[in-house]
Structure 1
């Protein structure tokens, strides 16, 4: 890494290899941390796994999306930690450690883009690049008090990035402020295919807010005071548990298809939670996958109809502040279910979702978010800046 002092364990200790960037550009001088799923010339790509790292060759090419940031003047600082093969929501990697959440040091940073979020929160970098398959940018952004964007599915190239679940994978990014997030988006997103109008139709996802924990819910109610938004039900046609199940089944089947052959060949030692997820994936059938795909198609059509081309959902990205690092297995299991039920809305529908710091509970930060029509990413970030300027 190129950091002199990584105070929060956010970076992988790779030998420092300088990476060229443009002297001028819209991101000139802004420090950049890159999740260790993306290739950077001169570095290996470990994907949070010591076994993948051992097999990785030094890369001869930088992922195009990362190169675009360098060409815009961003300064590469190092490759950041991720959960094991990026299949977790908490940022607790038993092989490489858990980065410190500077906003709540006794709490999880969130994953799987844990290192990028931790580096931005600690002020070590200005832009943190992550990926978001099931919530891996939105959850850490909420937990660490950051701005974060999960873009429209397939909006940003994932060439040179590890595939986890291709129909859910996105490149996302973090910043401490909306201006930097918007500048980064201008480089990566290009022009919106569905720009929002100056005064979009705001809707409040009442049934998502109803799933909030008490103190966290009160924080979000405060930050939403005065907003004129019609109440809507996101799970009106499909119960929340069906949305959750469809997301989990489809994601698990895709991950198994991607990694199953490698696991059978290499026999890597996996952490217990990841091993359990693969066991679940192997228990699923093609019939279950087919049924889940039908649920996704129906849910996606319903959300698209709700949003149209001018609608924006105000919604909680997750249900609560981050839990303690020493929490028991029961909390880890229940928290994941509740968080994914909310995160699956944009994930299953393939929509952009921007997360904005809302405030703090006694446990730590909590975020608020906007979900927009597909292709509205840049104008969605601009709207968030107008609604919550900071």
Structure 2
């Protein structure tokens, strides 16, 4: 029986492969932001789905996966318009988290992540704007990658904030993560240097997560991190993200805000108040911090927590906004930098899933996945 918390529509398969290749035999859960020919985009919101029309063609990424032999098993749920990190969709419910029952799935790539963790698909195709691949990967013990901004064409994907939106995917193992990368990413790319750790960033995580990530961080070179500007970085990203989110969807949402769940509705209401001048100032800050971070890291790879905590319990909604703010404080580094980030599953002392994140130079996606694979061989 299909779980509507995970899936909006499924098939056997929903779309058959158009070719054969390294992904033959793999099945894809497609986040409900991607165009799938003959299907509507629902964006996690029933009113949006009601007004949508069937897509005439596949999104670029969907087309590539089909050409390399993968089948689309179905279209999986997302947080509304991808503007959340929790997976707690007000209309469809919270997808299950099998490694951490009674805890949230993480979002906004919530349905694809749960589909993979439940064994109902082998690849979860999603997006990452402010952590929407890395957070569900961490919460559900999956491998996930946020690709370098612009590395994978976003054609046929419903936008949220184009300055930060990027294609990402989740799998159970790094070998398949790399295979999907060979399908979607440009060949080659830049190499990576040594892995470094900023202890101040590690300290932003809860003690159990910091300890789990610390196993990978042990003995690695330490660097300083400009902690004094972290709050400014997060605020700049959230301001520009909000402005672009309203620019993307405000015309449609203007008289339909009541169709959104309360958390996402409040976020869009705030977004509607961001002025062009505020957005311009935030954009200038984002560009300055992007340049500064890229120069600071060079070819080095930064190791930090994918998310600062394990998945919160489903029945603790009042804590979720605080968790979101703490999470974005870490995830904004790759978002602002436009950098690739691979989430590696780790486990806390209590047996709960968490994530260790590697952030590499722009264009180092392939090398970053291979580095992540090599690090886990020594755990």
Find 1:108's aligned residue among 96, 100, 104. 104
Shift of 1:22: 4.0
What is the CA–CA distance in structure 2 between the aligned matches of 1:59 and 1:282, rounded to whole Å?
Answer: 28
C-alpha distance in 2 between matches for 1:15 and 1:176 = 22
Deviation at 1:292, TM superposition (A): 1.5
C-alpha contact 1:346 1:353 (8 A) present in aligned 2:
yes
- Of the candidates 69, 74, 96, which is equivalent to residue 70 of structure 2? 74
Q: 2:123 aligns with which of 96, 111, 127?
A: 127
In the other structure, the counterpart of 1:143 is 139
Q: Given the alignment, which residue of 347, 353, 371 partners 1:383? A: 371
TM-score of the two chains, using structure 2 as the length reference: 0.95
Are 1:311 and 2:300 matched, yes or no?
yes
- With over 3 angstroms needed to count, the CA separation of the structure-2 counterparts of 1:266 and 1:282, relative to structure 1, is closer
Deviation at 1:261, TM superposition (A): 1.1
TM-score (norm 1): 0.92
Shift of the 98–286 alpha-carbon distance from structure 1 to 2, 3 Å rule, reads: same
The number of residue pairs the alignment matches comes to 378
Two-structure CA RMSD over aligned residues (Å): 1.8
In 2, the alpha carbon distance for the partners of 1:176 and 1:15 equals 22
CA distance in 1, matches of 2:261, 2:349: 31
Residue matched to 2:49: 53
Structure 1 pair 307–192 and aligned structure 2 pair: CA distance change class (3 A) = farther
CA-to-aligned-CA distance 1:96-146 (integer Å, 9 cap, x gap):
221101111210000000000001111111111011111100000000000
Q: Secondary structure at the match of 1:34?
A: strand
Is residue 13 from structure 1 mapped to residue 9 from structure 2 by the alignment? yes
Give the match's secondary structure for 1:348. Answer: helix
**Retained in 2: the 8 A contact 1:312–1:371?**
yes
Q: Structure 1: which 5+ runs fail to align?
A: none
Q: State the alpha-carbon separation in 1 of the partners of residues 347 and 13 from structure 2.
A: 38
Paired position in structure 2 for 1:292: 282
1:184 aligns with one of 168, 180, 183: 180
Q: Aligned partners of 2:82, 2:328: CA distance in 1, in Å?
A: 15
Which residue of structure 2 aligns with residue 230 of structure 1?
Answer: 221
Do residues 254 (structure 1) and 244 (structure 2) align?
Answer: yes
1:302 & 1:207 partners in 2: Cα distance?
Answer: 18
1:363 to 1:276, Cα distance in 2 relative to 1, 3 A: farther
**Structure 2: gaps of 5 or more residues:** none
| C-alpha contact (below 8 Å) 1:223/1:358 kept by paired residues | no
Indicate how the Cα distance of structure 1 residues 232 and 104 shifts in structure 2: closer, same or farther if over 3 A, else same: same
CA–CA distance in 2 between the matches of 1:256 and 1:313? 32
Partner Cα distance (2:19, 2:280) in 1: 50
> Shift of residue 269 of structure 1?
1.7
TM-superposition CA deviations, 1:213-261 (whole Å, max 9, x none): 11111111123334xx32123335x521111101110100100111111
In the alignment, what sits opposite 2:197?
204
What CA distance in whole angstroms lies between the structure 1 residues aligned with 2:19 and 2:269?
Answer: 49
Which range moves more in the overlay, 341-350 or 16-25?
Answer: 16-25
